């Protein structure tokens, strides 16, 4: 029976430290992000001095280093000998409501009060009194802030708290893949934000290659990966969206595939094979965390990509682009078939911009002469796989209702 576990404890011929190859690992030196780290530190400086600074909102596609840079700055701040700031990092995928965010603050800094039964008002007052005690500044880092269900209530509460705090204050650092999420905020919350904005650009192929080489040196055994394999993983990720997490997943999966085959070196063939798995995993993660109507828009694009639109698609080499208007019509049809009210064309355009920002689609303006002036759009992933991924989620939502059918 013990033989079943022999392979588990056998020393790897490929890996030396798998953790280093994880997208969640934060290296000491974040390559190509010095400028962004310095900007974040600059914006936080007033808070560290005990002054009420401006809020910060950080945007960028998935895998551009936003979270890593913010966490790196947080670690540096915690090591400062003197600081009047208290920084709390909150993952909004887990703490996805105003109550949960406020409860997390109390749990970390006022554990005696972290018990069930306290309402929003009680928790809020505990936080205000705690800040007032010595005039501290609470810096609340909200990663993937757009996930919060009652975001408007949360932003309004945190910004207006500064009016109730006599000494000290609260500074918000919001991190998001979606540039337009603030458009959904109530004007009262929006007017109180008074924020700095920082946009993270995607990595290019050369930058991704350097990042992968750095991780490979510490994550793999010496000479366990071909230089050409590293460059290919970087090129594939750069072509998709400049996503460092995708590049790391490709390289790590390639190592697993090589190890399964008993090889001692990762080749270009392993990278190509791994890319298929990594892209599916990335696509699945992205699609299943999208807001409902963004998901339905992606579904409409996938359907049109497979079926074809009523107008001829434009082709650019192997890539086919769809007209934005066709997609909106299909989205409305899909929404109606699921008994959901379609969003207006104005909101549709904002959602398209968000999807483009996240690298789920690519788009460009057609210019004059092609049905007037329109936006041309295509999926960044295989339409059939996107369609299948979304349908699995939709079946769960509507499967119990026999009167609802999947849209075609």
DSSP designation for 220: B
Residues 310 and 254 in one domain: no
For residue 267, what pLDDT is reported? 97
Residues 269 and 319 in one domain: no
Q: Residue for token digits 């790391």?
A: 248
Residues 282 and 238 in one domain: yes
Residues 80 and 97 in one domain: yes
Sequence-distant (≥ 6) Cβ neighbours of residue 205 within 8 angstroms:
231, 234, 235, 238, 239
Structure tokens at 111: 């554990």
Residue 274 CA to residue 301 CA, distance in Å, equals 26
For residue 403, what pLDDT is reported? 41
The answer to the question of residue 17 being in a domain is no
Residues 39 and 154 in one domain: yes
Give the chain's domain count.
3
Domain C-terminal end among 200, 235, 257: 200
For residue 401, what pLDDT is reported? 45
For residue 176, what pLDDT is reported? 92
Residues 225 and 196 in one domain: no
The answer to the question of residue 312 being in a domain is yes
Q: Residue for token digits 């600059």?
A: 42
Closest CA to 109 of 68, 170, 67: 170
For residue 102, what pLDDT is reported? 96
Residues 369 and 380 in one domain: yes
Q: How many CA atoms lie within 13 A of 261 on its CB side?
A: 13
Contact between 263 and 12 (Cβ < 8 Å): no
Residue 258 CA to residue 270 CA, distance in Å, equals 6
What CATH number should be reported for the domain holding residue 372?
1.10.10.10
Torsions phi, psi of 199, nearest 5? -110, 130
Beta-sheet pairing, 319-323 with 195-200? unpaired
**pTM score over 0.85:** no
The answer to the question of residue 256 being in a domain is yes
Closest CA to 17 of 252, 262, 232: 252
For residue 80, what pLDDT is reported? 81
C-alpha angle 40/44/45, rounded to 5°?
A: 120
Sequence-distant (≥ 6) Cβ neighbours of residue 143 within 8 angstroms:
67, 70, 89, 90, 91, 92, 175
Contact between 361 and 379 (Cβ < 8 Å): yes
For residue 389, what pLDDT is reported? 85
Contact between 407 and 400 (Cβ < 8 Å): no
Residues 60 and 165 in one domain: yes
Residues 62 and 184 in one domain: yes
For residue 84, what pLDDT is reported? 83
Question: Residue 348 is part of which domain span?
Answer: 292-398
DSSP-assigned letters across all residues of 82-142 = S-SEEEEEEETTTS-SHHHHHHHHHHHH-GGG-STT--HHHHHHHHHHHHHHHT-EEEEEE
Structure tokens at 219: 């994550």
For residue 203, what pLDDT is reported? 95
The answer to the question of residue 61 being in a domain is yes
Give Cα separations from 310 to 257, 263, 307 (angstroms): 43, 50, 9
Over the chain (408 residues), what is each successive 10-residue block's mean pLDDT? 58 93 92 96 92 91 93 88 87 94 94 80 95 95 92 93 94 88 77 86 96 97 97 92 91 96 96 88 77 92 83 53 93 94 92 84 72 78 86 65 50
Bridge partners, 171 (sequence order): 139
What CATH number should be reported for the domain holding residue 103?
3.40.50.300
Sheet of 375-379: strand order equals: 314-316, 319-323, 375-379, 361-365
Residue 227 CA to residue 120 CA, distance in Å, equals 55
The answer to the question of residue 407 being in a domain is no
Domain C-terminal end among 165, 200, 235: 200
Closest CA to 35 of 17, 60, 18: 60
DSSP3 helix / strand / coil % (the chain, rounded to 5): 55, 15, 30
Residues 52 and 181 in one domain: yes
Domain C-terminal end among 256, 287, 318: 287
Residues 115 and 160 in one domain: yes
Residues 52 and 178 in one domain: yes
């Amino acid at each position: 029976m013990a033989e079943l576990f022999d392979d588990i404890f056998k020393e790897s011929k490929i890996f030396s430290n798998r953790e280093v190859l994880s997208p969640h690992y934060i290296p000491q030196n974040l390559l190509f992000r010095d400028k962004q780290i310095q900007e974040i530190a600059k914006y936080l400086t007033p808070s560290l001095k005990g002054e009420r600074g401006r809020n910060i909102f950080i945007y960028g596609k998935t895998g551009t280093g936003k979270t890593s840079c913010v966490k790196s700055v947080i670690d540096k701040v915690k090591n400062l000998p003197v600081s009047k700031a208290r920084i709390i990092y909150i993952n909004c995928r887990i703490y996805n409501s105003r109550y949960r965010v406020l409860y997390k603050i109390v749990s970390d800094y006022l554990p005696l009060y972290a018990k069930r039964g306290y309402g929003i008002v009680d928790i809020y007052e505990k936080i205000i009194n705690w800040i007032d005690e010595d005039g501290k500044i609470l810096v609340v880092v909200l990663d993937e802030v757009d996930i919060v269900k009652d975001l408007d209530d949360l932003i309004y509460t945190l910004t207006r708290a500064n009016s109730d705090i006599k000494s000290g204050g609260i500074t918000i650092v919001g991190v998001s893949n979606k540039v337009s999420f603030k458009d959904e905020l109530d004007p009262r919350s929006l007017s109180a934000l008074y924020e700095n904005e920082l946009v993270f650009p995607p990595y290019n192929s050369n930058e991704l290659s350097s990042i992968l080489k750095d991780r490979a040196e510490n994550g793999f055994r010496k000479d366990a990966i071909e230089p050409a394999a590293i460059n290919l993983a970087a090129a594939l990720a750069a072509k998709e969206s400049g996503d460092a997490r995708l590049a790391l997943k490709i390289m790590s999966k390639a190592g697993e595939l090589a190890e399964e085959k008993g090889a001692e070196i990762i080749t270009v063939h392993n990278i190509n094979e791994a890319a298929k798995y990594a892209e599916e995993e990335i696509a699945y993660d992205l699609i299943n965390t999208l807001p409902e109507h963004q998901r339905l828009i992606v579904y409409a694009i996938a359907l049109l990509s497979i079926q074809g639109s009523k107008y001829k698609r434009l082709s650019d080499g192997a890539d086919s682009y769809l007209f934005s208007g066709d997609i909106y019509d299909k989205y409305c049809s899909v929404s109606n078939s699921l008994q959901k009210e379609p969003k207006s064309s104005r909101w549709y355009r904002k959602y398209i911009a968000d999807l483009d920002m996240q690298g789920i689609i690519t788009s460009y303006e057609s210019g004059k002469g092609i049905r007037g002036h329109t936006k041309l759009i295509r999926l960044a992933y295989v339409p059939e796989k996107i369609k299948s991924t979304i349908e699995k989620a939709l079946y769960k939502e509507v499967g119990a209702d026999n009167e609802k059918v999947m849209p075609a």
